[in-house]
Amino acid sequence: MLLRRIAFRKKCRTLGFLIIAMITFVYVTIVSKSLERIKAPSKYFMVFTCNESTSNTHHQPEPSILPTSKIIKEIPRHISNVSEFAYPIMLWNNYLINNPDLCKMNNNILILIVVKTNPLNFERRSIIRDTWSNKAYFFGVIKVLFLMGNAQNETIQENISREFHEYLDILQGDFLDTYKNLTNKGVMGLRWITENCMQAKMIVKVDDDVVLDTYRLLEIVYPIYENKTRYILCNIFMGGKAPIVRDVKHKWYVKDSELKNIGLLDKKIYPPYCSGFTVILATDLIPAMFGIAHVTPFFWVDDVYLHGLLPMKAKRIDYVSLSRNYTFSYKQAMRCFSGKLPCNFLSIGETKLHEMRPLWNMIQTYHSRRIKKNTTRR
């Protein structure tokens, strides 16, 4: 069990102290609201009891720092000729809020999950911190970073500041947080990872309305890819399936000038790209994509830009389809996780606020069932 191997390794000896410390803490803060957040890591938590003999037989792979500067320098950068309007502004614009130490704060990091969010979505972020990204379950091997722009509203900004000081998991860029600036949000993420988080071994990008099965991610998906490079797991729209929308009334209508900027003016369809609600990437691709963004003019349809145009130029990428591992249907997800084993969903997209906790609870129940079944079988 990967969790046993990794999350609990080194923790074994101190687990006793941890438990005592936790009980004390719970007593001290019993009346305080903060108890809500670190609340009892459920029964699933108990399934992973510490096993000293298991933990001694494995060694955690050393976090390797890839030669990112090298990769970037290989790509021609015409910085001097970059027009502010032609290229994503977050290639150079300031961060407004940033914790550059997020990934360094714990040497155990394996997976960084970046969550595209809007400054106003306080509640989504709060639920995500409570559920699928909860530190209490993953002991620092999984870290979350929320990406947002500027809401240009003092009240909201003060609130974001408070949130940041409490959780240190927000990256805010100096750009207006709008639909047409999502590409800038994504480029900011590429830049930040290149600068601050190359020790993560896998990068996951999700929207803030996604419920992610982080147990599956860590125990089943991660081990397959832990030593691989240049892969992207996503839902791919192959060429011919994603028309370029030219209907002025449509949300995804693009202007001639915008298409011209990326050389697609005469095209009817987009080149292959991934839908961006859940994308898993090898860390080594991130600096390469960031470098390529310096020579890829801006295009506001972020999925096309970030998960199409950029990786297309990176070449030699292994694409793995996640088409059978997601759903946008709450009902279907609940049925799957409560039904017969196994359930292969990794990601549930487009959830409503009130659906997020029940989904996560069901995912936890699913995994305790799965583990119990596998344990009794042995």
- Binding positions for ligand NAG, rule: CB under 6 A: 51, 53-54, 61, 81, 89, 122, 153, 155-156, 159, 163, 175-176, 178, 180-181, 216, 221, 223, 226-227, 233, 322, 324-325, 341-342, 344, 346, 370, 374
> Rounded CA gap, 158 and 142, in Å?
28
For residue 137, give the nearest of 55, 39, 9, 57 by alpha carbon: 39
Could you please report the per-residue DSSP string of 84-118? TTTS-GGGTSPEEE--TTTTTT-TT--EEEEEE--
Tokens for 161?
A: 């500041």
User: Would strands 211-212 and 142-150 be described as parallel, antiparallel, or unpaired?
Assistant: unpaired
> Rounded CA gap, 350 and 367, in Å?
22
The distance of closest approach from Cβ of residue 363 to ligand NAG in the complex, given in angstroms and rounded to an integer, is: 13
Nearest residue (CB) to ligand NAG, 118 versus 178:
178
Nearest residue (CB) to ligand NAG, 115 versus 322:
322
- Give burial (CB, 10 Å; 0-12/13-18/19+) of 317: middle
The distance of closest approach from Cβ of residue 268 to ligand NAG in the complex, given in angstroms and rounded to an integer, is: 24
Nearest residue (CB) to ligand NAG, 33 versus 268:
33
Nearest residue (CB) to ligand NAG, 240 versus 341:
341
Q: At what angle do helices 154-167 and 122-130 cross, to 10 degrees?
A: 10
The distance of closest approach from Cβ of residue 370 to ligand NAG in the complex, given in angstroms and rounded to an integer, is: 5
The distance of closest approach from Cβ of residue 24 to ligand NAG in the complex, given in angstroms and rounded to an integer, is: 26
The distance of closest approach from Cβ of residue 162 to ligand NAG in the complex, given in angstroms and rounded to an integer, is: 7
Cβ count within 10 A of residue 96:
18
The distance of closest approach from Cβ of residue 278 to ligand NAG in the complex, given in angstroms and rounded to an integer, is: 10
> Rounded CA gap, 259 and 190, in Å?
23
Nearest residue (CB) to ligand NAG, 145 versus 233:
233
Residue 95 near residue 195, CB atoms below 8 Å: no
Nearest residue (CB) to ligand NAG, 151 versus 242:
151
